[in-house]
């Protein structure tokens, strides 16, 4: 199987599933990176897992907004674990 056939199949299955957004191997890579950051994986480990040599490339993969930031704060916020 080559790169083009994988992309073609993902596009086909995305349409069959009525997914309105782009479906591609790269989309899955971005989604995986974002989910790992939200779940607590540090950016340096993620950088190495993605095979990047520069942190700025990894930064482009992960865009955290609104709910993502709120969830991250709940997991790792400065007040977590304090009895107030």
Can you read off the two tokens belonging to residue 80? 């977590």
CA dihedral sign of residues 51, 55, 60, 66: positive
pTM for the whole thing?
0.64
**CA–CA dist 10, 47 (Å, integer):** 25
Comparison of pLDDT for 3 and 44, the residue scoring more: 44
In this predicted model, what pLDDT tens digit does every residue of 26-71 receive, in sequence order?
888 888 888 888 788 888 999 999 999 998 888 887 776 566 666 7
Greatest distance between any 2 Cα atoms in the chain? 57
**CA–CA dist 17, 23 (Å, integer):** 10
Residue 59 near residue 53 (C-beta atoms within 8 A): no
Average pLDDT of span 69-84: 68
**CA–CA dist 71, 40 (Å, integer):** 10
């Amino acid at each position: 199987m080559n790169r083009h056939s994988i992309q073609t199949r993902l596009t086909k299955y995305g349409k069959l599933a009525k997914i309105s957004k782009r479906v591609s191997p790269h989309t899955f890579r971005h989604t995986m990176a974002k989910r790992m950051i939200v779940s607590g994986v540090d950016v340096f480990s993620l950088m190495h897992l993605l095979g990047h040599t520069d942190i700025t490339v990894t930064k482009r993969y992960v865009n955290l907004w609104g709910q993502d930031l709120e969830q991250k704060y709940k997991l790792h916020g400065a007040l977590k674990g304090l009895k107030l």
